[in-house]
Copies of this chain bind each other. A is one copy, B any other.
Amino acid sequence: MTQRVIKVRTKPSYEIIIKPGLLSEIPEDLKANFSFGKVSIITDSNVEKLYGRTLLNLLQSSGISAEVFSFPAGEQSKNMDTVVMLSRHLIRSKFDRQDLILALGGGVVGDVAGFLASIYLRGIPFVQVPTSLLAQVDSSIGGKTGVDLPEGKNLLGTFYQPARVYIDPEVLKTLPENNLRDGLAEVIKYACTLKPKLFNFLEKNHHAVLSLKDKALLRIIYDSCQAKAQVVSKDEKESGLRRVLNFGHTLGHALEAYADYKLQHGFCVAVGMVFACRLSERLRLAQTGLTERVENLLKLYRLPTRISELGLKVDRADVPKIISYFGRDKKVWKGKLTLILLKNLGDFVFYEVSETKTLESVLEELL
């Protein structure tokens, strides 16, 4: 199958390579495109077993000096202690600015390894090899890195672009199904805001996507990466257009925080997208019918459309508390809360919200 390439025009710019089976071609591609010393594979305890050793052997067979450093899988590892622990391993193994970090794993690995690369000796090059759909279509692209604090997620981090992103859709076949759906919520986000043709494709091809057919996966990953690449190329540091990527995320993040980060990100975003669509209709930005179409697509992909489906017990009395989380987002813009709403599929608006009562009333309908 042909390889697809997407150029991300940040500073510095870099390429995303998408191809089934790409994993085994990484060593030769690295040698052909970069001049570097050793490679440090940063991964977590789950992915290490699945692909860490394989990739290490591939690199070493190509004559590349490489080591694997892993940390316990899970969001609870996404903190500064992990970054310090990995840094000390790298120093003791004499990694310097000529060496390369390879982030192999899902969103947590990419965020931690990218952050590490951005601060280790004040910055060494790194490449991303995302192994979850969420990481492939979202977190591996755009240069956001970071770790959590006890007070909240991603509170410390950098903007630091990878030198290259290698996406092999075949690795998704080893994912738990929940994990795939997590990423599908982000794919649907791109479809709603930026890629109406992808929306049509997702409606018509849900069997192919859910049964992980190569061609269908390649299409949804390519379209999603292209959407994200276009946005971050125009707005590298979140000063304007990039906020469109927050569609469904204001309520999504609020629900995650409200539930102490025990829920899956994509599931919360799914409900958040329904909320944004309903609000768009209520404010007469969108025509009636838009929400129904989005809800139906989410259902096709077995994604939740109501808060109760998240396993979260919420009644009317809790609604103001959830809404209060809206204001805590890093993306609150010059003190104003901006929601990303839709006029139609592929036609979004930044909407400054002042009507708390309307937010509450729409949210009550989604309990």
A binding-site residues for B, Cβ under 8 Å: 80, 83-84, 87-88, 91-92, 96-98, 115, 118-123, 144, 146, 149-152, 154-159, 237-238, 330, 332, 334-335
Contact = CB atoms under 8 A, between A and B. Distances in A.
B152 A334 contact: no
A144 B123 CA distance: 11
Given A80-B84, A92-B151, A152-B91, A122 B158 contact: yes
A120 B330 contact: no
| Residue from the set A122, A154, A238, A334 with the largest chain B CB neighbour count within 10 Å | A122
Given A330-B97, A334-B98, A84 B149 contact: yes
Identical copies in the complex: 2
28 contacts: A80-B83, A83-B156, A84-B149, A84-B156, A87-B149, A87-B155, A88-B150, A91-B152, A91-B155, A96-B332, A97-B330, A98-B334, A98-B335, A115-B119, A119-B156, A119-B157, A119-B158, A120-B155, A121-B155, A121-B330, A122-B144, A122-B146, A122-B154, A122-B237, A122-B238, A122-B330, A123-B237, A158-B158
A248 to B, nearest CB: 21
B98 A149 contact: no
A151 B88 contact: yes
A361 to B, nearest CB: 28
A96 B159 contact: no
Contact of A91 (B91, B120, B149, B159): B149
A335 B96 CA distance: 10
Nearest to A145: B122
